[in-house]
Structure formats: structure tokens, C-alpha cells
Amino acid sequence: MGVIIRRLQEHDVVENFDCKDEVLNNYLKKHAWTNQQKISIGVTYVLVDESAPGIVLGYFTLATSVVPRDSFQENMYAAYLDTTLR
């Protein structure tokens, strides 16, 4: 079985998806497509079997967000700057 990770598509079959976490199931079934296509606050990627590419086996969502600089400890921020300025 080969698997593919790709962006969620409108025709993907999500109705039978069950990861045993009702909140995550609900997000995929009711909100993921809208958040991706209509209000652009997140992009959902799905794991599908190559032989059944429309049936979702798993997913993750990358959502837009902001983390204020002052929420980090100063030493964590300094370490981040050290790695990004190299």
C-alpha cells in the first residue's frame, strides 16, 4: 500500500473518518474545507491510499496564528535569533 499526503480536496470522502477523537473528527468533517477554501485560516493536508485516493486515512492542518514575542522567555528568543541570523 502506497500512501500520499496532499491538500484536502472538496470531493474527498471524510464522512467515515474516525480517529477516536470526536473534536478532531468533527473538525475534518465540518470545518476543514471551509477554513481552507472560504476563509483561508488554515490548510488541511490528508493522508490517502494510492489505490483509493479519495478516502482520507489521516490529516493535519496548518493554521495561521501569531505568537507575540513577549510570550517567549528572553533566552528562547535569543536562541532563535542566533539560528536565523546565521
Q: Are 27 and 64 in contact (CB under 8 A)?
A: no
Task: Write out the three cell numbers for 85.
Answer: 541570523
Rounded CA-CA distance 85/80 in Å is 9
pLDDT band per the 50, 70, 90 thresholds, residue 86? very low
**What pLDDT, on the 0 to 100 scale, is given for residue 70?**
75
pLDDT tens digits, 24-56: 999 999 999 998 988 778 899 999 999 988 899
| Top-tier CATH class for 3-84 | alpha beta
Which of 31-35, 47-51, 57-61, 74-78 is predicted least confidently? 74-78
Which sequence spans correspond to the domains of the chain? 3-84
pTM (2 d.p.): 0.71
